[in-house]
Every structure is written in C-alpha cells, then in structure tokens.
Chains A and B, each alone.
Chain A
Amino acid sequence: MRYAYYPGCSLEATGRAYDESSRAVAARLGLELEELPDWNCCGATTYMSVEETLAASISARNLCLAQRLGRDLVAPCSACFTVLRKTDHYLHDLPQVRSRVSSVLAAADLAYDPGSVRVLHLLEAFLENDVLERLREVPNPLKGLKVAPYYGCQIVRPAVDFDHAEFPTSLDRVVKALGATPVYYPVKTRCCGASQMASNEAAALRMCKNLLLSAQQNGADMLVTVCPLCQINLDAFQGAVNAKYGTRFKLPVLYFTQLMGLALGMPEKELGVGREIVDPRPLLRPYAARAAVAGVH
C-alpha cells in the first residue's frame, strides 16, 4: 500500500529517531511512504488557540497537497494526526467553516474536497495492512522485555475508528506480536502534559511522574510511545522528574517503530536508537546480541 507520508515538524528535530525508524520499518514491511512534497506545519494544538479560519486553512493546505497526489495521508505524530483529521471533519461537517476556508485556499490557488483524503496514524496504517499477522514470526522476538504501551491522548481522542477511546489495545497487540510482554497499567491514555512542559513545567512534571510511576509499579522495563511530544516529555524530562520528586526512574522511552525494528532484527543505528536521553541500550543489549548472532542484520 502506498501513502503520502506527513512527518510533521517534530520529526525533523527532537523526534528524529521516530522519522528514521518509521521510514525504515515501513520499508521493511512493504508500506510505501512517499513524503508529502512541501508539506507545512499542521498548526498543532497551538495555532487553533489563535485564529480559527487561519488554523484550519493552514492545516488544509496539506490535505490539498495529498489530494493532488491522490493518496491517503499517514502521520506518525498524534497531534498532527488529530489536527489534520479534525480539519477534514470541520470542512466536511461545517458549511460555514468550509466556505471561509475554501475562499482562503482559492486565493492561494488551492482546493480541497472534504472527505477525499483519509488521515491515518502510522499505527493505524500498520494495522490496516495486517502487520500484526506478519509480525508473528519476527526474527528477533523480544522475549522477556516488559513494555508499557503508552497511548497518550490524541491517537485515540476525541474519537477514532481503529481503536477504543478509553481502553485501546492496538499498541498492546503490537508489543505482544513482537514477542515482548505488554504491561497493563491503568494510566496508559492519561496526558503527558504536552506543551505545558514549556508553559507550566510543574503541572507537566507531575503528569509525567504519574505515568512513569504507574508503569514502573506495574513492572515495566520501558515505555513505547506513538507521539514525539510524549517521547520527549517522558524521556528528556525524566531527570527533572527525578530531581523534583526524589524518584530514581531510569525507564527508556522508545517509539513503537523502534521496537518493531529491533524485533525485525534491524540495526539500532538505522532505527535512531541511541538518540534518547535515558539510554535504552543496556536494557536492549541481550536482544541486540542475539540479533547479531542470528545474523539477521
């Protein structure tokens, strides 16, 4: 299956490993991701707080480009996924917004028919292409690795078709298919604090602390995320959480695509493993060694 790939701005900087591992794993599994030419920022949650017509129009430029390409749009970032999807719904369901945005787009020689481009999260795209079936016999099963699947907010809320909004299981199923053990912990869809890490650090650190604590108390060795903002909050600010709360968390936080790649026997470097602040390599050493011995690289 061929998709237009929308990396999103974070994947060019703090989320670089997510971009590397998404492209590498998709290619390995036969999912063709063609980068949307000249894509622009989706507007994130921030732009919507400033101007509505403008936020929807800027976001819609990407839908116009995808429509021109004739492909559905795949986003690895949960915020991009929600914003682009929401823009399509707004234009589809709300005639007033549609007419305003259409005239804005027309001024820039752009046009979009609402509903013509499907927006999918990368996890959703994998599931749709029966990746779970194909992962059943991975060359390097991650036996014994206890992983807390962290969904966060915007991959399942406000509403999605591919999973349950309150009790999602898709990421648990991926972790299980890779041979690892998905850890149940009750806060898997609670918020990491998102951009509050910049504007209200105390609130965000407390939210991260609650997530890390719950994952650890339920026996997790590490977490996997589906969003670059969740990853940076939980990984790069784990030290700040420890300093504030006197905790000693040392929980690596990987993107789910990195975990997939490891189980597929791909080299860590190709997956951007090593870019984390909390180094996952000591934990992953037995699996990396096994992959090398088995010669699956």
Chain B
Amino acid sequence: MSSVTSDVRIQREDFDIQSEVARISDGRADIGAVVTFTGLCRDEAGRLSALELEHYPGMAEAEISRIAAEAVARWPLQGLTVIHRYGRIVPGENIVLVVAASAHRQAAFEAANFLMDYLKSRAPFWKKEHHADGTAGEWVEAREADDEALTRWRR
C-alpha cells in the first residue's frame, strides 16, 4: 500500500503552483498525473475590495490533515499537498491550492475534487467581505449546495 503522507500548510503568505508541483514530482518517474486546483478571490463584479479569511488555528491543520488522510486512504496517490491561506486577500490573489499526484489521472482528479468539497464545508475558515465602496461587509454565508456536495462521497 501507499506510504505517501500529505503535506498540509495553513499560511498567510501566497504560494507558487509550479514549485509545489515540482516538490511532489521532481526526481520521480512513477507519477503519470498531477491535478492542481487553485481557488482565487473574486471581486464579485467590482463589489469587493478584499476578503478577510478567519481560521481556527490548530483545528484548521488538524481537520484538513484528517480530510487529506482520508483521500490518501481512498485513492492510490503518490503525493498530496493542500495549502490554505488566511488573512486579508484581494481579488485576483490565491486562496487555496490542492495538488494531487497519481499514476493515473482518475485518482488524481477525484482526490482533488474530494478535498475541495470537504474543505468548503468542514475546514474551519470563514470569509468576511470588504466592500469596494468602503461600507462594512458581511460574513459570506455557507451555501447549502456545498453541504450537499459531500453526500456524493459518502459510502
């Protein structure tokens, strides 16, 4: 069985997608597929100047590590990296990165998809909007569709 361990990082700083892919795949010849998902901050048609991401230190790492460990147990992965940023993030900047590597594409696609579905409604992060016109922003409301997305992974 696979002995891969996932690499989970919660950080304020930005990340570099190319170097995260290289960190997993450099010097290896057994990886046939690398799927990356990057989530970015949108401006919602000019309405937002930034998102403030609050997180629960300690639990954020623990919960994402649990989700990543489940992905490693369910799919034959050769590498898995999850990076989630916190703090003030402006439109166009990165928020989250998932890199999943496997011998074949299906496992890499599915694992990345699974990770994102779980991050959306199980990782302890909360987004607050900052409005471009300077008025006070609201906390982003959780979408029911995000909760429903989890049901397809249950077994």
Task: Indicate whether A and B interact.
Answer: no
| Residues on B facing A (Cβ under 8 Å) | none
| Residues on A facing B (Cβ under 8 Å) | none
